[in-house]
Amino acid sequence: MNFREIIDLIESAKLDSPVYRIKRYLDTKEKKFVYVFLSTRTRDEVTLDATERFYREYGSIWNIDNPEHVAQVIKPVAFYRVKANNLYRISVEYKDIPETLDELLEMPGVGIKVAKVFLAEMGYDYVGVDTHVHRIVNRIGIIHTDNPRDTDIILNRIVPKSLRRHVNVHLVALGQTICRARSPRCEICPIQRHCRYFLNRS
């Protein structure tokens, strides 16, 4: 599978996707972390609104003083009370956001998806696997897995290192605009010639 060509085709399609706009807003390491931390099981627009409210209110994780209030600020992201408590713990237990997978996975509320998406945002060689990435690589036929955890393990092995950090953002862009969960718009998809789902349908 030519990962380079797939990523280049999506990039050059210049999709009007929220993820590209959000990326421009995430201009500091801490904002990248907070956005990704809040994003689990939550739509991108809701996560972005919550991240903006969080920064208007506090300016930094390290200014948090009351987890109950954080919960009200980040509501309605999924599990907002749990996330607020974990952000509070991070503000107390950490002085900076770590940049290694092992250290990130020790933080409260940080799982493999959050850790790898954040590290990819920071320019490290990881594929961050969320529902978009999991769905699309299975549709294309690159892999055949039942769950994002297996997808994560395989993609982080088979995607060339230099491309790993680019996979999440471009596949999310494709997933938000064209390869939607329901009714994928295959007729206008920039990577249709690489896609087994499309080729089998044609």
Provide the binding-site residues for ligand SF4, judged by CB under 6 A: 136, 139-140, 178-179, 184-186, 189, 191-192, 195, 197-198
Name which of 65 and 187 has its Cβ closer to ligand SF4. Answer: 187
Least Å from the CB of residue 93 to ligand SF4? 41
Name which of 41 and 180 has its Cβ closer to ligand SF4. Answer: 180
> ω before 76 within 30° of 0 (cis)?
yes
Least Å from the CB of residue 185 to ligand SF4? 6
Name which of 114 and 195 has its Cβ closer to ligand SF4. Answer: 195
Least Å from the CB of residue 195 to ligand SF4? 3
Name which of 24 and 182 has its Cβ closer to ligand SF4. Answer: 182
